Structure 1
Amino acid sequence: MAPKTLSATETWVFDLDNTLYPASCRLFDQIEAKMRAYIMDHLALDGEAAGALKSELFHRHGTTMKGLMQDHGVDPHHFLDFVHDIDLSPLDAAPALDAVLAGLPGRKVIFTNGSTMHAERVLARLGIAGHFDGIFDIVAAGFTPKPEVGPYLAMATALGVEPTRACMVEDMARNLLPAAEMGMATVWIPNGTDWGAQGQGDHIHHVTDDLAAFLAAIG
């Protein structure tokens, strides 16, 4: 079962995009635009058809990339390098989050459906990279995305996470279900989208729209 109080947490497992920075930065809009461009180029589709296929693959496979791999033979490394080559200027440094993470007891790790390269760039831009001692990305997960259970088990093994003494923070409600079933406490940060809100339930233990303030209040 999950820790009785978050102050007992030994490992904090953070998602990256729209979790460690606010969704209002619209950074993921760039990634989605790059996905459409990739599909247009590699499958010779116009913008409308590429956008429709991107959405269809996402809903059917969990990520657009997994769908492109399975249905169209796309090289995932090439895809990741292309879609994560984005402008990070909308991201400001996060001194409040930096200070809170510095004082938050326990290890901090990243668990993302993105790539390690993308995570490292984002963490550096936010000025919080020094607080994390591990990144488990989509490549380490064998390109199997959250919320499939396998990556959670692999992440816990690879990063030495004891689930019953861990807390996962994530912007997609459905991605917290496997974490809760493993015994983690969970924190949901709504990203303002319908797909982010899908899968709400009792497995969500805490909800916040201000991560720094939420973590600062833990005592």
Structure 2
Amino acid sequence: MNKVCLIGWPGSGKTRFHTMVSQQAQALGLSLREAPGLVWDRGATEQAWLVVDARHRIEDERERAALFNAGDALVLMFWQEVELANQAWWLKQLKSYADNKPYALVMQAGLTDNELLKLMSAAPSAIRPDWPMLARVELTVPRLVLEHFTFVLDAMQRDPEIQLWRAVGVLDTLEYANRVAIEAGRSGFYQYDAGDMPAGCLRLEARALKPAVLEEWLSACYAPGG
């Protein structure tokens, strides 16, 4: 049986892709596993399939090149949500940085057998990237001003010392009566109606998280009256 390790940035869609195709892949003689977090741990007998969240561009050229080089094959997730201009941009990057690597554009319906077989045909080409070790912190937060919180997350993503790679949580916010589920990756921010999920939990993964700095930044987002 062929073996594949799914790698990629936190929040790229590795778990979703694994859930989507694992049974189908097994029927084709393919065993999939997901690398935990920001880890490149392809085994000697495995292919590395790089999973990318295509909803946002990766503007930094060096970061983009290192990412594409990290996989033997490339899996671009959430393609149905990608604007046409960004679809054209991603296809241009694939031609420039990964012209000899097979790739798949993943829609809600998943992949066909032939698309999976195309990924399986990848030749060994992956190069270990210089990804940082991430610190993780889980917090309980009061009611927040969501607009302020998105500014803070953007600043944490851009800060060269903090380098926020992942944020996941369910929040009570000043702007909405319903609870808000939030997700952020290395770039990009997404929010959804959280329904009846319990609010006040926030998980952050970053290169460096200093408690005093984190408390100062988050306290600036607290809604009046908590």
TM-score by length of 1: 0.28
TM-score by length of 2: 0.27
Whose Rg is larger?
2
The structure with more helix, counted as a fraction of residues: 1
